[in-house]
Amino acid sequence: MSFMRRLLSLCALMLMCLSTAHAQGNFYLRNGDRVVFYGDSITDQRLYTTFAETYVVTRFPQLNVSFVHSGWGGDRVGGGGGGPIDLRLQRDVIAYKPTVMTIMLGMNDASYKAYDQGTFDTYAKGYQHIIDTVKQALPGIRITAIQPSPFDDVTQAPKFEGGYNAVLVRYGQYLKDLAQKQNLNLADLNTPVVADLEKAKATDAALAQKIIPDRVHPGPGGHLIMAEALLKAWNAPAIVTNVEIDANGQRVVRSDNTRVTGLAGGNNPTWMQSDNALPMPVNMGDPVIALAVNSSDFTQALNQEPLKVTGLTAAKYTLKIDGQDVGIFTKEQLADGINLATQQTPMSKQAANVHGLTVRHDDIHTTRWRQYQVPMANDNLPHLTEVMRALDDLEADVVAQQRAAAQPVPHRYELVAQP
């Protein structure tokens, strides 16, 4: 390779790195991180965890971060159905050599009763043991302590005076104090979900009960709000892309996290757009998810993809992306800006496909872990290791698909004036 070609290649690499760093900003996760989600049945639902993973993969498609989902139903700080805590930590956390670990425990630890000092002391001692064990085995690991998600005392009456969620809030306060003392990252998955339940109840009391249908395990809508809280603790950015076009002056006024080229067409503008990220896919066709999202700041905080076009003269326009109708908007709506993340676009469809692959790779991992590794650990089967290795390879194949599917592609935009 000639000196000039090497120089050009080096410059291109530097520009790519600078672009990635600029897009990442002060986001908590870094290139090369491996995240282990650890917890009880709420983590074992694999909803807030897969939502968080999909957000990271679609918002930072050039960031190399891997995820392991290690929740086990019924777990407490001392372990549970998957074995005692030291076995759980060694097999389900330390073995993966994570650089980041999230811990959400407490729902079972508080024993579904009024606050009891002895019960709390067991929790505090056990949680500290988890921190100490992991830090000793993995020096430099970054830990996100998750304040327990709520027991629903909002849409249904508390079972005893003060309610069980008030007990969980006290446990969460302990974690807040612990995080300050030991320099842990902290995520509050209780306060925003309670606020969401209160607002949803005021809107539709019957439907609001379905956000956490059994009062303990949220459905997808509740988990989206929990994922939002975790991602906020990781300094997740709201912006997917931000584009402003002056149709009258035929100029691009703003193009954040994207590249706009080929602007033409005057009053019926067309352009090409090459984005650096995808929107977060949200199934607003599900009424419970829609209620949960609309009762929160999820869209404002995490899913902003504004498109603003000024200088238009017709009253209404059809927005087309890649020839597909996205919607009909007035010139005033376009001048104010529309949030493409809330529309059915080729980008949102691509992101939904990415989420499907997130769930698929996690299903493969869970099958390997829960149906082979744990129950057959002492069976001395000669082909067990081979089977697990094959499943690991299969999961890696799906992760590669997921990352490839998350890479944005150029799109052609067109605004067509309506008669």
Q: Burial of 89 by CB count in 10 Å (0-12 exposed, 13-18 middle, 19+ buried)?
A: buried
Q: Which class for 292: exposed (0-12), middle (13-18), buried (19 or more C-beta within 10 A)? A: buried
Where do we find the tokens 């120089």?
7
Sorted by where each begins, the domain ranges of the chain are 21-238, 242-275+305-419
List of E strands, 336-379 = 338-339
- Which among 218, 170, 177, 174 is positioned nearest to 196, based on CA atoms? 218
Q: Using CA of residue 386, residue 138, residue 179, residue 80, what is the dihedral sign? A: positive
How far is 268 from 331, CA to CA, in rounded Å? 12
Closest CA to 290 of 188, 204, 229: 204
227/235 Cα distance (integer angstroms): 12
What are the pLDDT digits (tens) for 350-395? 999 999 999 999 999 999 999 999 999 999 999 999 999 999 999 9
* Topology classification of domain 21-238: Rossmann fold (3.40.50)
- pTM reported for the whole predicted model: 0.93
What lies within 8 Å, CB to CB, of 93 at 6+ separation is 36, 38, 70, 101, 134
Which amino acid does the sequence have at 141? I
Q: What is the total residue count of the chain? A: 419
Cα separation, 40 vs 75, in Å, equals 5
SS3 content of the chain, % helix, strand, coil (to 5): 45, 20, 35
Phi-psi region of 124 (alpha: psi -120 to 50; beta: other; left: phi over 0): alpha
CA terminus-to-terminus distance, the chain: 58
Cα three-residue angle 361-305-240, rounded to 5 degrees: 50
Q: Which amino acid is at 164?
A: Y
Provide the greatest CA pair distance for the chain: 78
Say if residue 15 is exposed, middle or buried (CB neighbours under 10 Å; 0-12, 13-18, 19+).
exposed
CA 27 distance to own-chain centroid: 13
In the sheet that holds 316-321, the strands lie side by side as: 258-264, 270-275, 411-417, 316-321, 324-330
pLDDT of 333 reads 98
CA dihedral 171, 176, 181, 183 (to 10 degrees): 130
Exposure on the CB side of residue 263, measured as CA atoms within 13 A = 18
Per-position pLDDT tens, the chain of length 419: 444 444 444 444 444 444 444 445 799 999 999 999 999 999 999 999 999 999 999 999 999 999 999 999 999 999 999 999 999 999 999 999 999 999 999 999 999 999 999 999 999 999 999 999 999 999 999 999 999 999 999 999 999 999 999 999 999 999 999 999 999 999 999 999 999 999 999 999 999 999 999 999 999 999 999 999 999 999 999 999 999 999 999 999 999 999 999 999 988 999 999 999 999 999 999 999 999 999 999 999 999 999 999 999 999 999 999 999 999 999 999 999 999 999 999 999 999 999 999 999 999 999 999 999 999 999 999 999 999 999 999 999 999 999 999 999 999 999 999 98
Q: Please count the other Cβ atoms lying within 10 Å of the Cβ belonging to residue 263.
A: 18
φ, ψ at 35 (rounded to 5°): -110, 130
Q: Which residues of 337-366 are buried (b: 16+ CB within 10 A; e: fewer)?
A: bbebbbbbbbbbebbbbbbebbbbbbebbb
Nearest to 77 by CA among 139, 22, 159, 148: 148
